[in-house]
């Protein structure tokens, strides 16, 4: 279980095509390579992070990969849920919403 649940949505800007699926797949590859637990939803992905100080380098790595694909501007939306009173986890949250 993790301390932080982080929702991330990556929006490449100025890509000429409205289809973003290939960029989404690149972001997933980065998450997999880093061994992070994540839960993909239709427009956002929730990630478990034990150490929030790694958030910026994770975003940078995703954006560096997108730049290699020709993306020149990226807007990233992030929502961080930091519970100081108990552990947080994707599985626990899914239990709550499905109960």
Which tokens is 98 given?
Answer: 């499905």
Residues 27-56 that bind a second copy (CB under 8 A): 28, 39-46, 51-56
Spatial CA neighbour of 74 closest among 4, 26, 36: 26
CB of 39 to a second copy, least distance (A): 6
Phi and psi based region of residue 4 (left: phi greater than 0; alpha: psi -120 to 50; beta: remaining): beta
Spatial CA neighbour of 93 closest among 31, 39, 55: 39
CB of 77 to a second copy, least distance (A): 6
Asked if 11 interacts with a second copy (CB under 8 A), we say: yes
Which tokens is 61 given?
Answer: 């790595």
Report the C-alpha gap between 25 and 30 in whole angstroms. 9
Q: Which of 35/98 has CB closer to a second copy?
A: 98
Asked if 77 interacts with a second copy (CB under 8 A), we say: yes
Asked if 87 interacts with a second copy (CB under 8 A), we say: no
Which residues contribute to the site for a second copy (CB under 8 A)?
5, 7, 9, 11-21, 24, 28, 39-46, 51-57, 59-60, 63, 67, 71-85, 90, 93-94, 96-98
């Amino acid at each position: 279980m993790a301390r932080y649940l982080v929702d991330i949505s990556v929006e490449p800007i100025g890509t000429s095509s409205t289809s973003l699926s290939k960029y989404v797949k690149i972001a997933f590859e980065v998450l997999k390579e880093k061994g992070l637990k994540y839960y993909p939803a239709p427009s956002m992905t929730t990630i478990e992070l034990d150490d929030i100080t790694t958030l910026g380098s994770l975003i940078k790595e995703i954006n560096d990969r997108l730049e290699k694909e020709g993306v020149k501007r990226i807007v990233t939306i992030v929502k961080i849920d930091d519970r100081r009173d108990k552990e947080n986890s994707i599985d626990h949250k899914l239990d709550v919403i499905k109960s």
